[in-house]
Amino acid sequence: MESRSDGCTFASLRVPNRVESVRVAASFLMESAKNMRVPLASDSLFELAVVEALNNAVKHGNTGADTDAMIVCELELTGRRVTVRILDQGPGYALPAAPAPTGGSPDILAVPESGYGISIIQHVFPTVRTISRGDRFGLEMSLTV
């Protein structure tokens, strides 16, 4: 973790594109958030959203990439703004629109069997966008604490 002169605190980790890396990366990001005193760092829904983004990178992001593909995980705190970035070497994709809020309990039969990870991410992070950096593509998820 590094603190920069502009008041930003930043942590970054590269992990191999393997399922077992998800837990390592999630633990790193959650521990870094706790060290940065991010209030949501102990919230299980915050962690679930981070894990979903990591799972998507492993499962979909590096499909077809070489066996040495890596995932880059970043956490940045600038003022009260928390940003998590998960970058892979995949081709990228378009985000679906955020689901409209429902007034009551969701109908269990309407819950999709897959594809719900982005909905969880968008529920926790009000700002979710796709980003690219060189040969990497990923998600940038932000919220104000």
pTM, to two decimals: 0.83
Q: What do you get for the CA distance between the two ends of the chain, in Å?
A: 19
In this prediction, residue 21 carries a pLDDT of 94
Q: Any bridge partners for residue 81, and if so which?
A: 78, 144
> What is residue 3's predicted lDDT score, i.e. its pLDDT?
77
Coil, strand, or helix at residue 120?
A: helix
Question: What is the 8-class DSSP label of residue 40?
Answer: G
CA torsion 23-24-30-36 (nearest 10°) is: -170
| pLDDT, tens digit, 9 for 90 and up, residues 46-91 | 999 999 999 999 888 776 656 688 999 999 999 999 999 999 987 7
Residue 142's beta-bridge partner residues? 83, 127
The CATH number of the domain holding residue 95 is: 3.30.565.10
**Domain count within the chain:** 1
Q: Which residue range forms the structural domain that includes residue 78?
A: 2-144
